[in-house]
Structure 1
Amino acid sequence: MNQKTILALASIVALTIVIVSSFYFFSTKPNVQKPVQTTAAASDMPVSEVAASEGIPAAEVDGIDVEELTAGIKQPSSAQHEPKLLNFELDQSLKAADTLLSMLPYDELPQFEQDNIDKYQRYVFAKAAKDTGKSVKDFSLQEHGALESEQAGNRYYVYKFDNGTDCEIHLVSIDLNTGDYGVSYNYC
């Protein structure tokens, strides 16, 4: 072999090593989750103390202010702000299959998040029933959950249901500061 061939092979090997090492060092590391405490003492602790005991900053878990998310549950119902419907519009770009694939399933969400999903489901069903002239009892919920949000002040809930004649998917955008919400929907 001549010198150019050896130099070319050495370059290829070096480049391969650099590429493989960059995949190793820059790939996402799997998250190791700690087991959830189920003792009575753990459930009596405030969210901020639980977060601190887990090594998570008290004010923030996964970029979302936990105190703000759970505040609606802790307030008496008479003092709560009644959420306002900001918009309810057909969105042709909302794809049911893609939205459902990226959704976090209801059963995997924390209890306060499930309570919020149930609360807004009642609002969405009432509005859809009013618009279609049908009873909410005629609706059958097929899937529901939440979407991850890049915006700290918003949360997105997804509802897929059959209203008796059509399958609809509703994407509900909630402003965490006011509780007001907007709905984009499309047919499945």
Structure 2
Amino acid sequence: MSALDAVRARQSWSRVTDDAPSHDELLTLVAAAGRVADHSSLRPWRLIELRGADRETLGAAIAKAEGDKSPSSKPLRAPLLIAVVASYRKSSKVPRWEQEAVASGVAHMLSLLLDEAGWGVLWRTGHYTRSKAVAKAHGIGKNEELLGWLYVGGKPADKKPGRRKPVDPRTFVTRMPSAKKAKKAETT
């Protein structure tokens, strides 16, 4: 399968089976995902692998962040969660936003690789990614931010992936405005 075919076939899987890639399989895919474009090769990211009871710990942290008494069952929806962390580095050349883009790029690349390897993947976020309780559960450092989790499991045979509407690229690709148009836009 070509990269183009893999990207075109990628879908989010909101429901997955209890199967998951092994730690070693995950490491192989992370090594490939880490090849994403990265200005100055700062590698401003890290991933946290959550399996088994780790997911229950996260459920309790989400409940604390939400002010709920019962642990959240959301982390139990997949056998493997991969927390995506932007781990900012000091740099005079690479701003914080660009470092977060690299971490997001790694997560997206990893989701594509997992999907192409036959795993169901869904990237989950939520306002509690910025909560103290959830950050503490993950060991998030002072110069880090949790961007969300990749929920990973087997693709159920009886369920089809979610469908996205096709993108009309002409809507999103434009040309640079001419100098005359750009000057006119500045004056209006």
Quick check: TM above 0.5?
no
Bigger relative contact order, structure 1 or 2 (CA pairs below 8 A, ≥6 apart): 2
Length-normalised TM-score, structure 2: 0.25
Query: What TM-score do you get using the length of structure 1 for normalisation?
Result: 0.25
